[in-house]
Every structure is written in C-alpha cells, then in structure tokens.
Chain A
Amino acid sequence: MDIRTVRETVYHWIFAALAFAALVFLIGIILILFKEAWPFFAQYSVTKALLGQSWYPTASPAEFGMLPLIAASVAVTVGAMAVCVPVGVGSALFLHELAGPRLRAVLKPTIEILAGIPSIVFGFFGMLIVAPFLQNLLGIPTGLNAFTASLVLGIMAVPTVSSMAEDALSFVPASFREASLAVGATRWQTLTRVIVPAAGSGISTAIILGMSRAVGETMTVLMVAGGAAVIPRSIFDPVRPMTSTIAAEMGEAVTGSPHYHALFAIGLILFLITLFFNIIAEIVSRRFRLKLGLGR
C-alpha cells in the first residue's frame, strides 16, 4: 500500500463522513424536537391537546387546545392550493405547450424571480397592499384573514409547483404526443387527456411539495392571516396557523415552561406533517419514474 492509495482512501472516507452531515442534522432536529416537546405531552394528553379548542397559554390555568391552530393551518393550506394548483399547473402547461422557445426563455427566469422573492416581502406586500384592497373591494371587516393569506401563500407556492410540473411534463415521451395528434386529437385534447395523465404522478409530486411549502410558511401568514386563535367559520375570518403561533409566542415563553414545551410540541407536529408530505411525494415520484421507464 503506497502513500497514494492511503491518501485516496483517506479522502474517500473524509467525503463519506461529511456527506452524512445532512443525515446528522436531520436526526438532530428530530431529537431536539422530541426532547423539548416530550414534557408537554407527558403533562397534557395528546387528544386533549390536538382536539382542544381553547388556546390560552398564559391564562391560569393555561389551556393548550391546538385545534384552532391546526384548523387554521389546514384552511390556509387548502386555500393556498386552490390558488396554486390551477395557476401553477396552468402556467406549466402554458410553458410546455403554448410558449415558443423565445417566450419560454423570458418566462422561465421570470417565474424563478418569483421563487426567489423572500417570504417577508410577500407578507409585507400582502399586509400593506392586498389586505386593504380586498377589504375595500369585498366590504369585509378586515383584510387580514384566511382568504388573503391563502391568496398570497398560493402565489408564493406557484413557482415550486410550476417548475416541477413542467419538468414532469417534459419527461413525457414525445411519442405520446405524436401518437395522439396522429389520430386526430386536438392539441388541447392531447394535453388534457394524454400528456397530463401521463405526467400525473410528477404533477402530483409537485402539488404535494407545494402543499408542504404552504403549510410550513411562517412570515407571510404571521403578517397577513390576522392572528385570531379560533376555528374559522368563514374564509374571511382571521386565523392563526401553527407557524405564526410559534413565531409570535416563542419570545415570551420562559425556557422550560409548559408554554415553551407546548410551542415545541406544535413545532413537532408541523415537522411530522411536512415529513409525511415529503415521504408521500417521494413514493409518488418514484412510481412516476418507473412508469415512464426512467429507471430508479
């Protein structure tokens, strides 16, 4: 074994070790979340926490019913998807089918710019421009509500869904399209009945990842969703999703207090939700690739 082989082996092992950093960090996050959230669940039963309807963490006795927060996150995410899926998939279809190469060369970077805009800027824009506009337009008591939050959040998620959906569409073999057109289908029929179903799993992955993004977004909902910890009865009610609860209340929770652990418990739930989405997306995307014969 000469020095060169030794050196090569050393390098190999160094890189291998460093590559596991991502895994180490992920495990670290899981461990810390569990460690800090556990005291809460030890004291407070899981069902009471998840289904309780009163979130009054600083009352005495404190109440930690998380249902309004969870319901708010669900409402805002569903609303965001209602905006994001049509616009995102529609844009992807547009770029795939209707945009010539020059138009595409202009529009793709434009969507990337939208992707790069920080969430705080979206929240800022939503709070100062969109909310008052909607308030005046629709005559509702306040523009800071689930509807506005869904709208802004949906637009935020569009680049994610759009670029992934477009990738999925481009993987569909050209022969599908050619065969369809050859039998006389219109471009639209080809698009909706042949290409989109073929890219279905890929588009589903895109949507799932978009949902994951929407549920995890903090600053936008903090500034736009209104902040009332109550289960929304209408889309125009102010709400307080899980993320903004953590961001708003962490500062005042004394380390080690029940409130502190409760907030970590919310963080844990949030993490599990996004983990769940990611796993589903992984499974779907694997099936997609197998189906199209792209191998692993």
Chain B
Amino acid sequence: MNQYYNRRDFLKTATAGTLGALAAGAPLAGFLSSCSGKQATADAVILLWMAGGMAHTDTFDPKAYTPFEKGLDSNRVLSTFPSIPTALDGISFSEGLESMASLMDRGTLIRSYVAADLGHILHSRHQYHWHTCYEPPQTVSAPHIGAWIAQELGPKNPVIPPFINIGQRMTVGEAEELKAFHTAGFLGSEYGPFMIPDPSAGLDAVKPPAGMSFSRFERRNQLYTELLDQNAIGDLGSDYQKESFKRSMEQAYMLLKSPEAKAFDLREEPEEQYAVYNTGKFGLGCLMARRLVEQGARFISVTSEYEPFMGWDTHENGHVRAGDMKKLIDAPIAQLIKDLDRSGHLERTLVIIASEFSRDMVMEGRPGAEVLHQVEQPDVINDIRNYGMHRHFTDGCSILMFGGGIKKGSVFGKTADERPCKTIENPIRIEQIHQSIYHALGIDQQKHAIVEGRPFYTTPDGVHLPEMALFA
C-alpha cells in the first residue's frame, strides 16, 4: 500500500491549509485529514442496506406530522408518523424506531446525503452508484465497495470470505441490474461477494453439499488429495493456475470444516437472542452479521432485499408499509449495535445504515430536476393507501453510522423543515461516504487499479476526501 501522505503531499496540503483556511473552508478537511494520519479506526464494516428508498421524513429525519384523515391535502404531508425523542437532546426519530432512538448517543446521524441526479429513476442504477461510487453504465465493470476492501485488506480471518452479502436473492425482478454491481468487476472474481440469499439457510453455503455427511466429506477430500498427488500436476497447468487452484481448494476446505463456519449457523444462537433478532429475514441477517464479525469477517452487507415495489420501495400504502419496515429493522439493528458494543467489537466495526435515496409524497427526483414520476399521487387523499411517501426523492437522505471511530452522539447536515425537505447544510455525496469508509479502514485515498492502461480509483479520479467531521 502506498504511503497515505508523503512529506511532499503533506507540505503541499499544509501550505494550502494556511491559504485555504482563509479563502474557504473546503481544503481544511484535507489539511485535517493529513494531520490525523492513516491510523485505521475500523477493521470490519457492516452495511445495513435499506433497499428500495427509505423516506427520511418517515424514519430518521421527521418533519411536521399530519395524521391521516379523509380529504387531506397531499401537499400538507411531510411525515406520516409522529416524532419520538432520541437519546440525543433535540434530535428526534420517527415513531417506530424507539430501540434505535435509544442508541443515538452512540453514533452519528447524517441527514444530508445527496444522491446522484440520474434522471428518470431506476432503483438499481442508484444502488449501483451507491455501492460502486460510479454511475452506470461504465465502460468497464466497476467493483462493489466490498470488493475493493476485500482486495486491499483481504480476509481478517483467513477462513471467512472477506466480502459477504446477506439477504439478496438474484432471482427477483431487476436482478440482472443488481448483478451488475454485486461483483468485483475488473478486480477479478476472487474478490466478489459470497452470497447468502437466506440467512436462515446460511449454513448450507459453508457445509458439505446436501446429503453428504461430514465424515464422507472429509474422506472425499483426503482421497482426492491423494489422487492429486498421483496425478502429474507438476506438468499440468501453468504455475499460477496450479497455485491458485490448489490454494482455493484448500481455502474452501478450510472454511467448510472450520469451527468458524458455525458462525453461519443461527441455530447455535441462544433462543432469547434469536427471538430479538427474528423480525424476519433482515433481522436474521443482522444476527448473522454479528456472528460473522465476531469470527473475523471483513465486509458484510445485509440487505432488507430489493425487489421492485416491495420493502422500502413503497409505491403505495406507504404509511402502513413504512411502519412494517420499521418493525422489521428497529429491534435487530438496535440489538446488533448493543451486542457489538457489549462485546467490544463496535470499537473496530463500522456499522452503516443507508439507502439509495429517500422518498417524498409529491416530489419526484429533486427540486430543479424533477423527473417523470412513477406514481399517481392524488392532490386530495381519501384512501389510506394514498397516504405515504410514494415518490422517489434524491436531495436529502439519512445515513446512520456507528462504531469504527465514528463520533458518538452527533448529527451531520440538515434538511429543510418545509417541502422540499432537501439538504440545506453540509451536503455529502457518495464519494465522501466511500472515502470516509476507506479512511476508517486505513485505505489510501488514492487507491486505484490499472484497467486497460488507465488508473481507475475507488472513488472517481481519486480526488475526493473523507468527511472528517464524522470521526471522533
């Protein structure tokens, strides 16, 4: 890995800091980051993905509450839930997130994420952008952030795959678009995601194939190795192919027989604990993430699963469904944070809760760049099915971060209290989010790969800086 900042860069930035501090605030962040050095504050990441567009005004950034009544003017509705206090003075969440609210003094809430303006909304394009930091289409296959991390840091525990994705089936609508970013791209499939579509069947991914006893599995492997020794492997396959083949087979075998593989087995979990997490597939994914981090996983993404018009993708009946989604996520996320905190893992594990964009009842896209809407929202609501955040909004979204060096009990950025509830303070974009994650992990801001003769950076052109205000 390159030096984070060499002397020359430092001087450059330091001088700039003097001038820049006078001229504007912007380069100051660079100055500060150069001072803070490259000490990693995290060595594992859990991304809790709110797939489908989670409305900020109905979750972590509530505005004035207008209860449902017949004849309600859509334009009046900013939030469809009352606010509740959090552990942080003056900061409220939306009703239904009580458990998470009680932990707000342990993390940082970003209220000013601004998603890209990609025109007519397609969820998978925004998700691609969030996860790779590049807007599709690209001329080469861009790697998922988990793949960059896997490539740079490798596995933390050699038997646990460094990039694990929990909860996303690749058989649902728009799955082809999802596949486009669930990949290591040009980094090579070695760094691609280890997919566990269903956490309750997670063990299947790391145990001998169906119908095979463990003893038979052991025996098969042992005799295979013997056969391999008899076979003239020395003459076959070029050296690197032979090497990589043998290594990968050994790795797979190690993982399959290792005690750590038990981390994938949720039945090992005490019943009470299991019950707290078990709000559904997502909750069990959180539980598996916790178990895997305890055993030395590097990057895990747990998704509420994207399927068009399901989950957070509330094109109708948004109020009721947002309530259901909060029931799904509140307890397990809170429990995950508490468990990690109690075991001490939170200190070195960065937990992120994010979504591709937000939603709004009437505004599609963003102010000034309104795009073709996809839901007919009546001006006057008479049916509760029309009461909810049904349109896609990209100009103000919430992201929560815990652990891994992130500030405790802090709020970054702000959205307007009146429609459009857009970002009005400290806008933050995906490049800074990614760089902040890399910064926490001690990954060079300039990390890149050479693809077709040109450098391809983790964030476009490698010029973006981490947001130091997020860090303690």
Decide whether A and B are members of one complex.
no
